Structures are given as structure tokens and as C-alpha cells.
Amino acid sequence: DTAVSQTPKYLVTQMGNDKSIKCEQNLGHDTMYWYKQDSKKFLKIMFSYNNKELIINETVPNRFSPKSPDKAHLNLHINSLELGDSAVYFCASSQSRRATNEKLFFGSGTQLSVL
Amino acid sequence: AQTVTQSQPEMSVQEAETVTLSCTYDTSESNYYLFWYKQPPSRQMILVIRQEAYKQQNATENRFSVNFQKAAKSFSLKISDSQLGDTAMYFCAFMKPSGTYKYIFGTGTRLKVLA
């Protein structure tokens, strides 16, 4: 029944590795997001897709590559992981960019630890 | 560019008391949405309350209410009859319903409810 599910919940890996985080929403929403929450709890948007189209691409290293195979999925692939990539990554979705009852639905987060 | 400021990094309140969390924002837009999200220790982000800028009436949701001062660009959250389960990080967020529809979050206020 989970509305926005992301896997894995925890990811521990070595520097230099490549890893992916998956996200799926079963709400029928058009728009999906990736947010990064650092150790100080600051939430910063990374990417947003609307109907599989990239609409927000903040200043993020190109080691981060989002992929949206369909509007229900938005995966995040990270190449050559660095220590500074350690954070909690949240996937979120919203109904559409034009809905008047707009709000974000969040996944439970993926805590990435790079050693 | 829009910014959201939460000037109280940490607050505490006694159980059953009332507490107010501050949020200010900067925008030149006249139409926008404001939100308060709660992040308990479980990490899940939960919408607490939402306000549309064109509505003068302050939003309320049970024990949660806002004081929206559009001219002052202030959007504070009042929690009445605080409960232990209210212990969490609280994030204020702004969204402009045009362009990229990006949500911008404040840095958060850590609220601890004391027994």
C-alpha cells in the first residue's frame, strides 16, 4: 500500500563504487523528485521529472544521473561515489504541477553512507 | 530567487503547552503555496498543514494552525496542546505554482516535547 516506496532504505558502500536507488509511486502522480538531506538536515532538491521529462536539474555533479522509465518510477544512479555523497536521499511525488491541492508525498528515504 | 528562513534551529516545549515555530520567506510572487512538513525520528516526511497565499484565512488542522502574514512574508506554525509524538524536525516550504513548480525548504526547526 505504500504510496512512494524507495529502495534500499540503507546503503553502505566504498568510495569509488557505483550505486542506484530506486523509487516507485503508485499514486498516479505526474511529477517525481529527488531531494538530498545532508547531515544538518538541510533538504535540497536535485531533480524533478514530469511525465518522464526532466524539468528541474539543480547544480548536481554529473556523477548523479536520474532515470525515469515511466511516470511511476524515478531512479537515481550515482557513479564514482565520494565521501561527500553520504546523506539521506528522498524520493517524492506530486499529483501534477498544476493541481490546486498540491503537496509532496515522500518516500521513507535512503541513507547512503560512503566509507 | 525564493528563499525560506527558519531562524530557530531548536525549540522545546512542555507537554500540553503551546509552541510557535517561525518561518519567513522572500518572494516577489503574489500567488504561491506554503507548507509545514514534519520529520519525526522515523525519517518519514509528513505534511502538517498547507496555506494558499491568495486565501486570507489562516489554515488549521486540529491542533496545528498557522499565522500567515502575507505582507510581512511570515508563516508561523502554532502547535497547541503539544504531545510527545510532536517531537520532530519541522520544515517550512514554499512553492510557486508556475514554471518548474519547485518546492524550497527551510533549514528546519528541531522541536522536542518534554514530558
Residue B40: cis peptide before it, omega within 30 degrees of 0: no
Which has the closest alpha carbon to A47: A28, A8, A21, A27? A21
Kindly determine whether residue B45 and residue A97, on different chains, have CB atoms separated by under 8 Å. Answer: no
DSSP lists the bridge partners of residue A110 as A89
> Residue A26: which pLDDT band, with cuts at 50, 70 and 90?
very high
Report which residue type is found at B19: V
- Cell representation of residue B68: 500567515
Cα separation of B72 and B53, whole Å? 12
Cα separation of A104 and B5, whole Å? 20
pLDDT tens digits along B54-110: 988 999 999 999 999 999 999 999 999 999 999 999 999 999 887 777 889 999 999
Which has the closest alpha carbon to B34: B18, B13, B14, B55? B55
pLDDT tens digits along A65-107: 999 999 899 999 999 999 999 999 999 998 876 655 578 899 9
Residues A114, A86: contact at Cβ < 8 Å? yes
Higher pLDDT, residue A55 or B87? B87
Task: Indicate which of A35, A40, A104 best probes the interface with B, i.e. most B CBs within 10 Å of its own CB.
Answer: A104
DSSP lists the bridge partners of residue A43 as A37
